[in-house]
Structure 1
Amino acid sequence: MESAVANSVLGMIPQSMATYWAKDGIDLQLSLNQTLTKSLLKVAAGKLDSALVPPLAFDALKKGVGPYKKMGNKATQLASNVRTLFGVPGSLFQAVTWADDDIKNWSDAAGKRVFIGPPSSAANKQIMALATAGGLTEGSYDPIKAPWGAATQSFQDGQFDVYVGAFGFASQSLAELSLSHKIRILSLASENQEPPAELGLQIAIIPPNTYPGQVNESPAITWQTLMMMAVHKDFSEETAYQLTKTYFENRAAVAKTNAMLTQLPTIDHLAGVNAPLHPGALRYFKEIGVSVPDNLLPQ
């Protein structure tokens, strides 16, 4: 299984679940710090058993666009090999500026440098859509792309003015950043600014005082990513069933171990999922009475 950086929500979920999966007979070999658009491609090609991937990336693979544009029809063919087990809440996009600069809201970032995630990342489109919803016209700012792992230090070094990081709620790394220099989190104007349906996002709220050096006096409204556990269509049905069953039977317990994982039990079983379910996962959902839309039924 592959996932994102170790201290991210997506890295912590499989790390935290590994013990429970092991108790139920699943020996997990986990590789972190991966580019998830590439992980999806490995799953589709049968070179990797499973990965936490963005629904937006799967949509791009089906259409042969974005990071898969050069693959042409081969991308669409590979997408037909992908199945999913369940949806998981991902990170919150938290647009950070220094409290003492002149950027108080999204529109103030016109003409500034805005970090939008790693090159060829599904996050690029999501973050740019968030900026647009905040009132920052596309083309009015300089979009900066760099690896997630280097972003915090690059922001501290002044390489960009707005750091739109993918953090878990109450992220320790963001708390530490705010202690070194007070921060402001940019907000959308209203909780009614729903993200475009195809982007695999949902509304999220960051209250004041979430971080020790946060100066926001009102809640910051942003968007949260939704991810899905992807497997190859030929993945073992019994293993798919057990991975899914163990996850849902233990996600509440895992959520109590870390503040960044508190949202694990709160989202729907299929939130964000846009690829057909694996038969093993479908068997579990039928057992517990979860209704599965026709478009997610195994093909």
Structure 2
Amino acid sequence: MKHIFKNGIIGLACLFSFNAMAENYTIGTGSQSGTYYPLGGILAKIWSENIEDFDMRAEVTAASVENTIKVSSNKQLAGIAMGNVVLQAHEGIKPFPRKMDVSVLFALYPNVVQFIVPADSDIKSIKDLKGKRISLGAPGSGTRVSATNILASLGITDKDIDAQSLNYTATTNAISAGQIDAGVIVGSVGVGAITELAFTHKIRILSFTADELKKVSEDNASYQSIEVPAESYKNVSAFNAPAVWNILIVNKNMDTDLAYQMTKVAFENMSKINQVISVTKFTTLENMNKLNGIDLHPGSLKYLKEQM
């Protein structure tokens, strides 16, 4: 079998003999307290067990931006990233210096932009965030890109707040310690970091108004509104927020046969993946091409057409 990128940029081209060692790969994820890491772990396990001469492990990263850069520069075979970040990479928009060699294998599940505050905070709405200490997410993360873009859509810039750059765990720790006034986590409903915080501290998640959601969608086409039901986290009321799809990405020059195999094996084992990561109930054939503005990789498109 050949695991090869068509342009041959790096030495992944390899003909395996019967006694050869399996090729080692990584999938870029996020922090260990988010959903990306365990999802990347189960995908790596499924692929390693079902693709010949293939061995993959999940790598802890700063998430979307870092994963996109590493995939496009052939430092990771695959990565998980937010759709808005992938579109910015595809178009060469900041924080990316140029158009990146990235392609979509398939869409995964929607991520919700969640602004967390202590339950007794005087912050009742998004506009109340002005002048406050807010964690916008780790540098190089999709959370930071999303938080910055969304606040900018609503007329709030870095100059209007005391912006902090913390990852999921550091954000929830800082909220519980009273070191920040609010924190943004962009993740699945029920993401571990917020779930754990809600078990030990009384929190609220800010709800966007209809007008705010409209402004966000107008400025950022990859976002859609979502209503999160009450008790999705302990003692947290229902809230409305923007959501963006998470995407499984690969280098656009990845060998078509390998991309096809990875897609086929993932969907043939989706019931096993669902048992480990419940939000992958959204990872369906119908949702594969959920991100508008960028095409599926030819390998995954081949699999999708076979199933239609």
**Same fold, TM-score > 0.5, yes or no:** yes
3-state secondary structure, aligned to 1:67: coil
Work out whether residues 10 and 91 of structure 1, in 8 Å CA contact, stay in contact via their aligned partners in 2.
no
- Post-superposition offset of 1:132: 5.7
Identity of matched residues, %: 22
Deviation digits for residues 168-221 of structure 1, max 9, x if unmatched?
21233322212322111100123993524745333222211222232x2xx201
Distance change >3 Å, CA 173–CA 35, structure 1 → 2:
closer
Question: C-alpha separation between the residues in 2 aligned to 1:16 and 1:155?
Answer: 30
Match of 1:101 in 2: 121
Match of 1:201 in 2: 223
Question: C-alpha separation between the residues in 2 aligned to 1:178 and 1:147?
Answer: 17
Question: Unaligned regions of 5+ residues in structure 2, if any?
Answer: 1-26
The answer on 1:32 being equivalent to 2:60 is yes
Distance change >3 Å, CA 140–CA 90, structure 1 → 2:
same
Distance change >3 Å, CA 59–CA 103, structure 1 → 2:
same
- How do 1:79-228 and structure 2 match up within 5 A? 79=100, 81-131=101-151, 137-138=156-157, 139-190=159-210, 193-194=213-214, 195-196=217-218, 198=220, 200-214=222-236, 216=237, 219-228=238-247
The answer on 1:10 being equivalent to 2:36 is yes
- Post-superposition offset of 1:100: 1.1
**Which residue identity lines up with residue 239 of structure 2 in the other structure?**
A
TM-score (norm 2): 0.77
TM-score (norm 1): 0.79
- Count of aligned positions: 277
The answer on 1:264 being equivalent to 2:292 is no
Question: C-alpha separation between the residues in 1 aligned to 2:209 and 2:267?
Answer: 35
- Is 251-260 or 106-115 further displaced after alignment? 251-260
- Post-superposition offset of 1:222: 0.9
- Post-superposition offset of 1:162: 1.2
The answer on 1:243 being equivalent to 2:262 is yes
- Post-superposition offset of 1:233: 3.2
Distance change >3 Å, CA 203–CA 249, structure 1 → 2:
farther
3-state secondary structure, aligned to 1:244: helix
Work out whether residues 53 and 229 of structure 1, in 8 Å CA contact, stay in contact via their aligned partners in 2.
yes
Work out whether residues 90 and 102 of structure 2, in 8 Å CA contact, stay in contact via their aligned partners in 1.
no
Deviation digits for residues 29-77 of structure 1, max 9, x if unmatched?
32123443222222222332221233333443345442334xxxxx33x
**Which residue identity lines up with residue 229 of structure 2 in the other structure?**
P
Deviation digits for residues 151-173 of structure 1, max 9, x if unmatched?
22122233321111123212333
Equivalent residue in structure 2 for 1:45, among 59, 69, 73: 73
Question: C-alpha separation between the residues in 2 aligned to 1:196 and 1:266?
Answer: 27
Question: Unaligned regions of 5+ residues in structure 1, if any?
Answer: 70-74, 290-299
**Which residue identity lines up with residue 75 of structure 2 in the other structure?**
K
- Post-superposition offset of 1:243: 1.1
Work out whether residues 170 and 260 of structure 1, in 8 Å CA contact, stay in contact via their aligned partners in 2.
no
- Is 98-107 or 148-157 further displaced after alignment? 148-157
3-state secondary structure, aligned to 1:193: helix
Match of 2:7 in 1: none
Distance change >3 Å, CA 82–CA 258, structure 1 → 2:
closer
